[in-house]
Amino acid sequence: MSEAPAVDPARVEVILAGYPQGDAGSLVNVLHDLQAELRYLPEQALRQAAAHLGLTPAQVFGVTTFYEGFHTSPRGEHTCTVCMGTACHVRGARRLLEQLERDTGVSVGGTTSDLSLTIEEVNCVGACALGPLVLIDGEYHGHMTADRLGRLVTEFLEDGKDE
Amino acid sequence: MTTRLTDPGALARHREALVAAGEPSRDAIAVCGGTGCRAQGAMKVFEALQTEVEARGVDRRVNLRATGCHGFCERGPLLLLLPEGVLYQHVQVEDVPEIVEKTVVGGEAVERLFYVDPSTDLQHRKEEKIPFYRRQQRLVLRDNGHLDPTSIDDYIALGGYSALARALEMGPVAVLEEVKRAGLRGRGGGGFPAGVKWEVCRNAPGDLHYVVCNADEGDPGAFMDRSVLEGNPHSVLEGMTIGALAIGARKGHVYVRQEYPLAVQHLTHALEQSGEFGLLGEAILGSDLSFDVQVSRGGGAFVCGEESAMMASLEGCRGVPRRRPPYPAEHGLWGRPTNVNNVETWATVPHIVLRGADWFRSIGTEGSKGTKIFSLVGKVNNTGLVEVPMGISLREIVFGIGGGIPGGKAFKAVQTGGPSGGCLPAEKLDAPVDFDTLLAEGAMMGSGGMIVMDEDTCMVDMAKYFLRFLASESCGNCTSCREGLLRLHELLGDITEGRGTRDTIARVEEIADTVRAASMCALGTTAVNPVLSTLRYFRHEYLAHVDGDRCPAGVCKALISFIIDPELCNGCTLCALRCPQEAIAGEKKLPHTIEQELCIKCGVCKDVCRRDAVLVR
């Protein structure tokens, strides 16, 4: 995996400034805001957050890795998420995920080596009527089939290369 | 321009002014803006409607509104014409010019967009006549399809916040008694009487009490709370404020799943509006009630739906459950007395205050009062969100409202209660849906996910699915849950991959007992329900896997093979082109065959075959 560029500490400080110093209770919300800005949570940002909120780095890392929504390694520019909710499962979501892993050579949770695409699963996005469902950069693609997903991702990755 | 409402009279006058001005009852087109319809292009339809009515110069004639979820996701995007209640379904951008021409300008309906009941071929013009809606009793969801969730005026015009005004008039004790007498039980899964919990919290000593709304709707296949928060956020805030009055709380928290960004957005917006109107904050409606609410986002951990884990998360910690007692009502958030209810429970409260406990008690069964929202999903024709009186039968929900199983397949099971629930077979279809019956049958009410399964669903695979989910969501605190669920998942893996024996099943039952007995929180103690309920009702499927190396539903890869029926195959070559393994051989226009050695059972051939010639054996 290629090295992610270093994060400017000032970008982190701007977000932290929105929360009172020593307000340990806002940690989860702080992590959300940091991740929205940085796309993942680099160690340096977590250390800054710890200092700001009056927590130890270990406490902050512990919370970060507890929740599935937080990522400590760089993410791809795009994300393809397969919904693994029960309704999607009974309509074949697992096969979709396997197809995606085969097509990209990346296993779930991983990112392609060129940092273009991250593959992940989600427990349920609550759009069960459309299952099985795949999200590409948050956009819903319902009633997915393995065949259509294969073509969709191929097109998607090729489009990315053209840019 | 906002109006700060300084007393209940001001609220009533504001409502009268809104109604007199015709908001929101004048002719309106309510476009369903629920997640299901959005995903099917509803907002594009909404924007196209806006553009079209402006271009035609008729934008003053109609009130266009994007509302919350209407419930009938299967037929989205949905358009409801108010006040008549005419429903257009599967509306696309291309339909917009005709809708504006005929309906907005001409005042007539576009009949081709009406719902046609597939079982009777009857066309229905009005929403209320469609079997999916007709058999429901919509209370909490009543206004979801009518109001713009970003408009507090819409909510007020439809009677919103009058329950709060009434509660202030009644006083805390009378409100508490009313909720207790109503028999309202928590809609989040536990079914604990809300009024009793409120009373314990009210009586707990402390300088600061909290009320919390649990909106960490983690059960996969469930989206009731999301739809209420997205579609009618003020109803939840009003319920919480009434609760705060009764309990004597000054601060509130809503803990929302991070996967629900629209719910967070609508709720945050509603909070700002309520504050500006004087319906939250200091001296609410001029009374001595002061109450503030803060929204917090979850981090994507299922266990945080458990109330003590949720409070740990609210405090900024890892979401690990705590031992109870002491219960949150006495020792909760930051050690203060805290009352936790879920979204649907809070949204039910204003209805009870406004219409009284007797009215509420008239709905439902002896032990379960009122209505319950279910998300009806899986292998069912009418996927969507339904609200029914407690005590209705599963059959009425799955077949009456849900329209049965697609493709003429046979019903196999309905799963209720999420990962902690159970799967009920066809013999139980006439069981009444209430807290106690479902529990007695080995399932549970849960928060309201209802997943229908047909003959193509493998029950062993289903149990394995839930175990995988729970094993990964276990917080890891109790060894029995952390390790037990992993072992159970492995053992079920053995069964689905053809390595299982009858001893494996016995081992599964033994470990399941231990996990249930030795785990601390509700996640661990109920985690084995899907395994135990499938073993109880579908043991024959387990036995087919271990005795006959057979997966009757044709799901478990190790036990099935894909073959091509030479009678049906016409040699179109599509499957051979799409097979990722190049495992399919054959001449053009002649039957093809699958090389079993190469086949990875991905099923692409079956997906693409237009003649259904690919069979699973």
Which residues pair with residue B376 across a beta bridge? B384, B450
Q: Check which CATH number belongs to the domain holding B194 and give it.
A: 3.40.50.11540
Whether A32 and chain B come into contact, CB under 8 Å, resolves to yes
B193: cis peptide before it, omega within 30°? no
Whether A90 and chain B come into contact, CB under 8 Å, resolves to yes
Say if residues B532 and B512 touch (Cβ distance below 8 Å). Answer: yes
**B23, pLDDT greater than 70:** no
Whether A56 and chain B come into contact, CB under 8 Å, resolves to no
The more confidently predicted of residues B154 and A156 is: B154
Best residue in B43, B333, B377, B468 for a mutation probing chain A (most A CBs within 10 Å): B377
Question: Which of A28, A130, A147 is facing B36, going by the closest CB pair?
Answer: A130
Could you say which of B117, B134, B151 is where a domain stops? B134
B261: cis peptide before it, omega within 30°? no
Dist CA B186 CA B189 (whole Å): 7
Dist CA B461 CA B415 (whole Å): 13
pLDDT in tens, B123-177: 999 999 999 999 999 999 999 999 999 999 999 999 999 999 999 999 999 999 9
- Claim to verify: residue B200 and residue B303 sit in the same structural domain: yes
* Mean pLDDT of the region B539-553: 96
Cβ pair A67:B449 closer than 8 A: no
Dist CA B304 CA B322 (whole Å): 11
Nearest-CA distance B107 → chain A (Å): 32
Nearest-CA distance A86 → chain B (Å): 5
- Claim to verify: residue B444 and residue B468 sit in the same structural domain: no
pLDDT at residue A125 in the model:
85
Dist CA A128 CA B411 (whole Å): 19
> Confidence class of residue B59 from pLDDT cuts 50, 70 and 90?
confident
Q: Which two tokens stand for residue B356?
A: 């009284």
Q: Which of B441, B406, B437 is nearest to B423 (CA)?
A: B441
Amino acid letter for position A53: L
Dist CA B306 CA B304 (whole Å): 5
pLDDT at residue A81 in the model:
94
The more confidently predicted of residues B349 and A87 is: B349
- Claim to verify: residue B242 and residue B287 sit in the same structural domain: yes
- Claim to verify: residue B181 and residue B326 sit in the same structural domain: yes
Dist CA A43 CA B179 (whole Å): 49
Spatial CB neighbours of B175, under 8 Å, sequence gap ≥ 6: B167, B242, B245, B246, B353
Burial of B596: CB neighbours in 10 Å, binned 0-12, 13-18, 19+: exposed
- Claim to verify: residue B275 and residue B422 sit in the same structural domain: no
Between the CA of residue A104 and those of A73, A94, A97, B154, B378, what are the distances in Å?
Answer: 19, 16, 11, 48, 28
Dist CA B562 CA B493 (whole Å): 21
**B25, pLDDT greater than 60:** no
Whether A62 and chain B come into contact, CB under 8 Å, resolves to yes
pLDDT in tens, B291-302: 999 999 998 899
* Mean pLDDT of the region B453-466: 96
pLDDT at residue B24 in the model:
53
* Phi, psi angle pair for B162, to nearest 5°: -75, -25
**B449, pLDDT greater than 70:** yes
Amino acid letter for position A101: E
Lowest mean pLDDT among B118-122, B139-143, B269-273: B118-122
- Claim to verify: residue B393 and residue B350 sit in the same structural domain: no
Could you say which of B134, B149, B183 is where a domain stops? B134
> Confidence class of residue B83 from pLDDT cuts 50, 70 and 90?
confident
Whether B71 and chain A come into contact, CB under 8 Å, resolves to no
Equal CATH topology for A9-66 and A78-162: no
The CATH architecture that domain A78-162 belongs to is 3-Layer(aba) Sandwich (3.40)
pLDDT at residue A4 in the model:
57
pLDDT in tens, B224-245: 999 999 999 999 999 999 999 9
Range with top average pLDDT, A3-17, A135-149, B365-379: B365-379
**Residue A40 CB-half CA count within 13 A:** 21
pLDDT at residue B119 in the model:
86
Lowest mean pLDDT among A17-21, A59-63, B17-21, B122-126: B17-21
Q: Which of B23, B55, B24, B111 is nearest to B47 (CA)?
A: B55
Domain that holds residue B484: 459-548
> Confidence class of residue B594 from pLDDT cuts 50, 70 and 90?
very high
pLDDT in tens, B248-261: 999 999 999 988 88
Say if residues A37 and A6 touch (Cβ distance below 8 Å). Answer: no
Whether A57 and chain B come into contact, CB under 8 Å, resolves to no
What angle do helix axes B502-518 and B539-548 make, rounded to 10 degrees?
A: 140
3-state secondary structure B398-461: HHHHCCCCHHHCCEEEEEECHHHCEEEEHHHCCCECCHHHHHHCCCCCCCCEEEEEECCCCHHH
pLDDT in tens, A76-125: 888 999 999 999 998 899 999 998 998 889 999 999 988 889 999 998 88
Q: Which of B341, B156, B376 is nearest to B242 (CA)?
A: B341
Q: Write down the CATH superfamily of domain A9-66.
A: NADH-quinone oxidoreductase subunit E (1.10.10.1590)
Cα B18 to the chain's mean position, in Å? Answer: 32
**Would residue B151 count as lying in a domain?**
no
- Claim to verify: residue B584 and residue B444 sit in the same structural domain: no
The more confidently predicted of residues A129 and B492 is: B492
From start to end of B469-568, where are the E strands? 562-564
- Claim to verify: residue B478 and residue B378 sit in the same structural domain: no
Which B residues, 397 through 436, put their C-beta within 8 Å of a C-beta on chain A? 415, 418
**Would residue B555 count as lying in a domain?**
no
Percent of chain A topping pLDDT 70: 94
Lowest mean pLDDT among A150-159, B137-146, B495-504: A150-159
Question: Which of A28, A98, A123 is facing B299, going by the closest CB pair?
Answer: A28
pLDDT at residue A2 in the model:
44
**Would residue B309 count as lying in a domain?**
yes
Burial of B543: CB neighbours in 10 Å, binned 0-12, 13-18, 19+: middle
**Would residue B268 count as lying in a domain?**
yes
Percent of chain B topping pLDDT 90: 89
- pTM of this prediction? 0.94
**Would residue B202 count as lying in a domain?**
yes
* Mean pLDDT of the region B24-51: 89
* Mean pLDDT of the region B555-565: 95
- Claim to verify: residue B450 and residue B464 sit in the same structural domain: no
Cβ pair B316:A147 closer than 8 A: no
- Claim to verify: residue B184 and residue B323 sit in the same structural domain: yes
Residue B526 sits at the vertex; the CA angle it makes with B525 and B530, to the nearest 5 degrees, is 140
Q: Quick check: helix, strand or coil at residue A142?
A: coil
Domain ranges for chain A, please list them.
9-66, 78-162
- Claim to verify: residue B528 and residue B610 sit in the same structural domain: no
**Would residue B553 count as lying in a domain?**
no
Cβ pair B602:A99 closer than 8 A: yes
State how many domains chain B has: 5
Which B residues, 286 through 305, put their C-beta within 8 Å of a C-beta on chain A? 296-302
> Confidence class of residue B2 from pLDDT cuts 50, 70 and 90?
low
**Residue B334 CB-half CA count within 13 A:** 16
What angle do helix axes B261-276 and B224-231 make, rounded to 10 degrees?
A: 40
pLDDT at residue A1 in the model:
41
- Claim to verify: residue B177 and residue B314 sit in the same structural domain: yes
**Would residue B382 count as lying in a domain?**
yes
Q: Which of B309, B299, B300, B292 is nearest to B253 (CA)?
A: B292
Pairing of the two strands B384-389 and B338-342: unpaired
Which DSSP string do the residues of A8-64 spell out, in sequence order?
PHHHHHHHHTTS-TT-GGGHHHHHHHHHHHHSS--HHHHHHHHHHHT--HHHHHHHH
Cβ contacts of B377 on chain A, cutoff 8 Å: 86-87, 128-129, 131
**Would residue B7 count as lying in a domain?**
no
Q: Check which CATH number belongs to the domain holding B28 and give it.
A: 3.40.30.10
Q: Which of B120, B28, B49, B60 is nearest to B91 (CA)?
A: B49
> Confidence class of residue A146 from pLDDT cuts 50, 70 and 90?
confident
pLDDT at residue B21 in the model:
83
